[in-house]
Structure 1
Amino acid sequence: MTKVSKGVIALAALAASALAITGCAGGGGSSATSSSAAWDGKQIASAVIALPAQTTSFNPTESASATDRVAAALMSSALYLQKEDGTVEPGLADGEAVFNDDLTEATVKLREATFSDGSPITANDVVATIQYEQSVPESVIASTTGKIKTVEAVDDGTVKFTFVSPYPSFEGVAGLLSIYPAAELADPDAYFKAPTVTSGQYTIKSGWASNKLELDANPEFWGGAPAIEHVTFQILADGNSALSQLQSGQVDFAGDLAPSYISQVEDTPGLRVEVSQVFGFFDLRLRNDHAPFDDANVRKAVNAAIDRTAIVSGIWGEYNAPQSGFWPAGMEGNDPDKSVEQDLDGAKELLAGTACESGCTVDMIYSDQDFAFSQQLALMVQEQLGKIGITLNLQNLDGATLIDRLFAGDFDLAPGAMTSGTNTPDQLLNLALNGNGPLSAEFTGYNSDEMNALIETAITNTAEKRTEAVEQIETLFSEDQSLVTIAPWVRGSATKLPEGVFSLVGASAIMATVK
């Protein structure tokens, strides 16, 4: 397993969207065609789950690979766990957090639970986990742990958090913070090579080898026996191979399939197709701090020239819808009346007086290892921007090189995506728009004092103050256009497993428990 500290980029490639797409209010749901039998509630002996993203690390401070996040969801428990509708419910916490009046402190009671080795999960384990994660430079979860000023064990079953500023979304964001044994974190490098002592539904039977990870049900898990006793994760980057193995019975669940593959099997007997959405979007990152995209009018011209309807139709078909504002449908702040239509005349007017008035050439980097449809998207964007005189020099890179280029700011334009684990604004804002955030505003180099102040207001308040701030963020986003949104994030899967057994939800996954 390759250890890649800059695996954070995949976080951008991983919370809920439009009713018309999901059929579920508030987003976070899924639309499905079901031809497999209903689950009888009894434990299934084994299943193979295929995912395309390469694994990078078991360490949550380093990895944001989609595959790693799904595996982590099965191996580890957090204080609060994400539900399918984007809300959270207590995990290791015994009920809701108790906040002080100004939301700068929260006290969490722990349920009685044990790690897979039978040792109790205590407040000291929570403290050790948070303190370790805060100690890691360039942690991919710094936007969450950075908000925590102190964490202390009041007693074995009680943890008190003090925050840097009011943190009303703490429960919603705490799902990113899986809890690990304090004893094992004495040597985190050794532990995270293969964390055999876990707090979740599964333990490791065999670590990553030949692109496979084998997990066994954790008999000590506080939440009961999982729906599948033995799970094997298989990395299959090629969608055709994933579908072929699904149909031949070698694989039971093929996740994160390109949309074109979903349509091929949606009417296949014995298979169930599910398309779920996360609280986030697919976008085009524009490097704001060098020409030509240091000019907001050039960025706005790109936004106007993109034919979102054609892109969505070509890539996702009926499983998605265009998006042009910052907030995805289903999240507070979304403007359902915001135009998604291409406006070539408006784009050309915006280019008047800019470095691209008479045409310009920019580099667009992408990787098929990032998204299966990256090349298709790149070619469509190349054709559309060519209509306003912006020539794209396309560069198809391997995944590791793409990550290095993004972190170095060595690009003009790149496709990407951004997400929030739950239906709260914190993570989406800190990763995509906060110039002082861990991703430098999704690698765009955008850094606006006005935007940063609005972000702080949005994530430290509730009710009317938050509503007003998220609306102002939408307005300022359109004025600055630091990046260009295209469509909400969707995740497509095909499976032979009965409905309700295992699903990709948000940036993570949910495994049912035996009834």
Structure 2
Amino acid sequence: MVKRKYLTAVLTGFMAISLALAGCSSQSGSSEESQKPKTVTKQKEQTLAKKDGNSLTIAIKDNLVSMDPQDTNDTLSGSIQATMYEGLVGFDKDMKMVPVLAESYEASDDAKVFTFKLKQGIKFHDGTPFNAEAVKVNIDRVANPDNKLKRYSMFALVDKTEAVDEYTFRVTLKEPFGAMLNNFAHPAARIISPKALEEYGKEVSKHPVGTGPFKFAEWDPSDHLTVEKNPDYWEKDLPKVDSIKFKPVPENGARVAMLQTGEADFIYPVPTEQVEAINGKDGIVVENKPSIVARYMTMNSTKKPFNDVKVRQAINYAINKEAFLKVVYRGFGSEMDSIIPAGLQFYSKQKTYQYDLEKAKKLLKEAGYEKGFTTTIWGANNSDAMKAMEFIQQQLGQVGIKVEVVPMEAGTLTDKIWSVQDAKDAGVELYYGGWSSSTGDADWGIRPLLAGDSIPPKSYNVGYYQNEKADQLINAALQTADPEKRQAAYTEVQKMIWEDAPWAPLIVEDTIAGKKNYLEGVYLLPDGSLSAKEAEIKR
């Protein structure tokens, strides 16, 4: 058996190196100065702002979709779930794997059998005990394709689960998968009370019951979700605040105003154009850090004209990625130079598509679209997404592609994109979005977005991209625990998909959050998720 200490070192060693490079990847066509990661100007120590009470308000940019971790596909909802739910393992603030509800864990040498020793004496919010049977119920649920849960693909390899004894859980895979522990550290593996699953069924998405530091209080989908302190939390001296209200505020200016007036104690993201204006004033501290959050535009490769690789490549040449980074994100990030961010394990840098309008026009002419065409781009209705789509609209207009921007709220996007049951019914043409591989591994940065069997509703291949050779490479990387073999497969598949261009990869954004200076213990991880477990108000 491979012991926890050694296995964690193997899985996270690549992360430690690559995360250090996440904000420093080269930007083709950029000046030396523009290649340097932009950082928020540090301010002098301020007097602590005033704060009444011991409760927090956190303003977020999108509406929340679900509180079921096994049926959620957005990082934001997962962040709020993290206050109530916990998994067997997780990530610390540097995305190094750490035990949470597990006391220890180990893997067989062939990476097919994973055994977890569980912590004892922990209870769910409804008073039922946390044990191996509870874990089994959860993993069986998410690994069952009949349940049609959005995170099924992460556990599709599960062959057998066992509650060996009350506090020992074992899972056996159908085939080797060296990144399986990373999947258990993903938010999708957080454990729901079996009693709540039985009582609420699918409605558990509105009635979250976990083991976390906070308990569910109320959810008004049009206004806020509130969690309150769990007085019986198993970790000593936590939590330190009485409650947290999460309030969706899609409009950037309104979100910033809430922080300035004290209506909110923490906001994310901070709009890049307002970072310097608010940092150091009104008791506000703004922090930015490199991330593994990719921003890109997909093209529905089953629809004309996007079924032609020349059109897809033309679009890549027609978008100035350096200008996108400066205009939309004010330089807080780095240009993408592969289909996954540099901060992911097994990343491989590619030769970028230089901004070249003449080359774009030439490719469009060769494809039979010399005069361009008309299309639509779908995306979220928050300020940042709107700005990004309008930038893309302007850029593609230069080569005769007329783009209609169609912003949608989160629930509508879920219905129109990820819930489509048949590819022929998909209305999406272009889609602007983002992805955070919250396992830290190339597998979860590629397979759910670009594998042929990841087409909605199974997973998130919004471009409906299919390439048999690419699928073979993706599967080959899954079937070995050998890092060198996995690297070889991922290197080849990144090159192949980059040239096939089912996307226009854009940038890897920085995480940018603003807080009042009396607040500690709330921060963003490199995957863009929020941790509020250790939230504390300093007096």
Which secondary structure does the structure 2 equivalent of 1:228 belong to?
coil
Contact 1:326 1:477 in 2 (8 A): yes
Letter in 2 for 1:377: A
| 1:163-312 equivalence runs, <5 A | 163-175=173-185, 176=187, 177-189=189-201, 192=204, 194-195=206-207, 197-208=209-220, 211-224=223-236, 225-312=238-325
Matched residue, 2:28? none
Q: Do the aligned partners of residues 332 and 427 (structure 1) sit closer, same or farther apart at CA in structure 2, a change above 3 Å counting?
A: closer
Are 1:511 and 2:532 matched, yes or no? Answer: yes
Aligned-partner Cα distance in 2 for 1:106–1:479: 37
Once the two structures are superposed, residues 137-192 of structure 1 have per-residue CA deviations (whole angstroms, 9 ceiling, x without a partner) of 43111121212222110001011101122122122111221112222221333762
Where 1:318 maps in the other structure, the secondary structure is coil
Once the 2 structures are TM-superposed, how far is the Cα of residue 510 of structure 1 from its aligned partner? Answer: 1.7
2:368 corresponds to which residue?
355
Q: Please say which of residues 503-512 and 83-92 is displaced more in the overlay.
A: 503-512
- Counterpart amino acid of residue 433 in structure 1: L
2:465 aligned with 1:453, yes or no?
no
Provide closer, same or farther for how the CA distance between residues 351 and 238 of structure 1 changes in structure 2, counting only shifts above 3 A: closer
Question: Partners of 1:206 and 1:275 in 2: how far apart?
Answer: 31
Q: Deviations over 1:385-406 (max 9, x none)?
A: 2333333233344544444443
Report the AA paired with residue 319 of structure 1. F
2:430 corresponds to 1:413: yes
The structure-2 alpha-carbon separation of the partners of 1:386 and 1:212, relative to structure 1 and needing over 3 Å to count, comes to closer
Q: Are 2:73 and 1:64 equivalent residues in the alignment?
A: yes
Q: Is 1:384 aligned with 2:385?
A: no
Residue 54 of structure 2: SS of its match in structure 1?
Answer: strand
Name 2:453's counterpart in structure 1: 436
User: Which residue does the alignment assign to 1:491?
Assistant: 511
| Correspondence 1:125 to 2:142 | no
Report the CA distance between 1:422 and its aligned residue.
2.9
> Distance in 1 between the 2:317 and 2:402 partners?
16
Q: 1:139 aligns with which of 149, 161, 166?
A: 149
Structure 1 residue 328: Cα displacement: 1.0
Verify the 8 A CA contact 1:123 1:153 in the aligned structure 2: yes
The 1:140–1:263 alpha-carbon spacing in structure 2 relative to 1, beyond 3 Å, is: farther
Change (3 A) 1:198 1:395: closer
TM-score, normalised with respect to structure 1: 0.87
SS in structure 1 of the partner of residue 116 of structure 2: strand
Deviations 1:180-223 (A, max 9, x none): 22222213337625536421111123333652222222232223
What is the letter of the counterpart of residue 316 of structure 2? N
Code of the residue aligned with 1:454 in structure 2: it is L
CA contact (8 A) 2:22 2:341 kept: no
Q: Distance in 2 between matches of 1:380 and 1:361?
A: 18
Change (3 A) 1:30 1:59: farther
Q: Deviations over 1:213-260 (max 9, x none)?
A: 222222322233124332121222222112112111111011123322
In 2: Cα distance, 1:209 partner to 1:337 partner: 42
Alpha carbons 2:372, 2:399 under 8 Å: kept: no
Q: Is the CA contact 1:279–1:328 (under 8 Å) kept in the aligned structure 2?
A: yes
Query: How many residues were matched structurally?
Result: 490
- Give 2:488's aligned residue: 468
Aligned to 2:167: 157
Matches within 5 A, 1:70-85: 70-85=79-94
Q: Does 1:111 align with 2:119?
A: yes
Structure 1 match to 2:8: none
C-alpha displacement of 1:472 = 0.5
Aligned residue in 1 for 2:10 = none
- State the distance in 2 between where 1:79 and 1:122 align: 11
Amino acid at match of 1:46: S
Deviations 1:419-453 (A, max 9, x none): 21031122212221111025466311111111111
Partner of 2:12: none
Of 227-236 and 279-288, more deviation after overlay is shown by: 227-236
- One-letter amino acid matched to 2:294: F
Do structure 1's residue 48 and structure 2's residue 61 form an aligned pair?
no
Shift of 1:23: 8.4
Paired residue type of 1:178: R
Cα RMSD between the aligned structures? Answer: 2.9
Which runs of 5 or more residues in structure 1 are unaligned? 1-14
Secondary structure of residue in 1 paired with 2:103: coil
1:499 and 1:341 mapped to 2: Cα distance? 43
User: What amino acid is aligned across from residue 423 of structure 1 in structure 2?
Assistant: G
The Cα shift of 1:127 comes to 0.7
Deviation at 1:111, TM superposition (A): 1.2
DSSP-derived class of the 1:55 partner: coil
| Cα distance in structure 1, aligned partners of 2:262 and 2:112 | 52
Corresponding residue of 1:394:
405
SS at match of 2:242: strand
